[in-house]
Structure 1
């Protein structure tokens, strides 16, 4: 199905302005802050005492724990983040009429396998896109567009890592130029967040900077994921009711059918 990019932006924002969007925003914000805090704490924890004291003045949020514990916390949050993207994909792609609910199936159905697939495949996708961006830039944008639906394929279609990569590659055919716009938008959002962080660092307010940048980052990226989700629903061809997606097939139902195959 041909992608209507403008509609994806409008309906994607509508998707996140829902109870499901609110839950996903709160969860991602908590994960972002925990991730930032654990990294800051780990850095300080492994530095010599004098260097740690000086560095702590320039870092933001930290916890009163050792570097080893902070590293373990970081790894735990990283795993939870992979689980989060599974839940996000399942939750935000449902029909508009279902977004006021948040059923258990979103975070229980085959969640362990899906999380492992997101972690394994995510590493492959990240390396491929990063190499493309570093060396020639445009190949990175192209790969980003081709693999944009990777974690949706894992979460909704119950694909494993390699299968999800292949399926995303095939599903994006014919729409990659439009999807590249979304990939570029993610870069713009990253740039905005980077500028904000720099401003607060220069102002000597790293703690406030961490809180503000993580909040803004979460808000913008959840909106972006809503746009990607709507693009996925359109291209997947599950949207017979037209704008708004009220007739889209629920990914929870799709997974239930997959369990019986």
Structure 2
């Protein structure tokens, strides 16, 4: 199966600028702000008072709540984030003509699918980290191989192991091009990892949080829309290979028109 990466990118952008894409962008923005604020608040609330006074100057946006409450809020938002990515995957995996609305199957088995997404995401993260520790290439290879896991879970409603295998199979033959997407994500992470500390050192921690969250949303929503488009390409190609159209033939072996 051959992936047309340029088409996936352009189609991903078109999906992002749709009505549903705009709503998903705002949802991602809200969740990321919540995660950033709850993480800041948890650190500030759990460290010793002496250290907290110094950290508060560089803490960014925080809430006046106990550290334990911040931790609970952060964990809750992580679960909500997994649910969000299920919704995002089901929405972006629609045909272009349906992108003006959310799919009817949006909430189907949402709880179970969210759990699968969380557990599978943890397995993939640990695998990629382990592969990266060994060498950069194994980590890149695994990241490219499992890019479609969330779509196998959310769209095809497969189990964790089945979704890992499904993603691996769909990526076969296109891992080099998918690796480009992974590298793009890594480069973006490096840019954010440079901008945020600079703004914090400049005495602008709140600005650093806002810039980080907004840029992250602006990158990752079209990024996942692009992965959705790539998933649809490879899935449809596989379907065409497995179910080729057979034209009826006459006794002279000449295809008849229907």
Partner of residue 28, structure 1: 28
* TM superposition score normalised by structure 2: 0.90
1:150 aligned residue:
149
- Return the offset for 1:24: 1.0
Residue in 1 that maps onto 2:193: 194
Q: What CA deviation, in whole Å up to 9, does each residue of 1:137-189 have, x standing for no partner?
A: 10000000111100110000101111111111111111111111111111011
Matches within 5 A, 1:50-199: 50-103=50-103, 105-106=105-106, 108-199=107-198
Equivalent position SS for 2:207:
helix
From the CA coordinates, give the structure whose radius of gyration is larger. Answer: 2
The residue number in structure 2 matching 1:49 is 49
Distance 1:163 1:36, change over 3 A: same
Root mean square deviation of aligned Cα: 1.4
Given that 1:82 and 1:118 are in contact with CA atoms closer than 8 Å, whether structure 2 keeps it comes out as yes
What CA distance in whole angstroms lies between the structure 1 residues aligned with 2:5 and 2:170? 16
Question: Where does structure 1 lack aligned partners over 5 or more consecutive residues?
Answer: 241-261
For 2:224 and 2:233, how far apart are their aligned partners in 1?
Answer: 14
Q: CA deviation at 1:199?
A: 2.2
CA contact (8 A) 2:37 2:62 kept: yes
Structure 2 gap ranges (5+): 240-258
Paired residues for 1:1-20 under 5 Å? 1-20=1-20
How far apart, CA to CA, are the structure 1 residues paired with 2:55 and 2:188?
Answer: 27
Q: Is 1:233–1:239's contact at 8 Å kept on the other side of the alignment?
A: no
Structure 1 partner of 2:242? none
Q: Find the residue that maps to 1:139 and give its secondary structure.
A: helix
Q: TM-score, length-normalised on structure 1?
A: 0.89
Q: Report the secondary structure of 1:105's partner residue.
A: coil
Is contact 1:145–1:176 with CA below 8 Å preserved after alignment? yes
Structure 1 segments, 4+ long, off by >6 Å, are none
SS in structure 1 at match of 2:155: helix
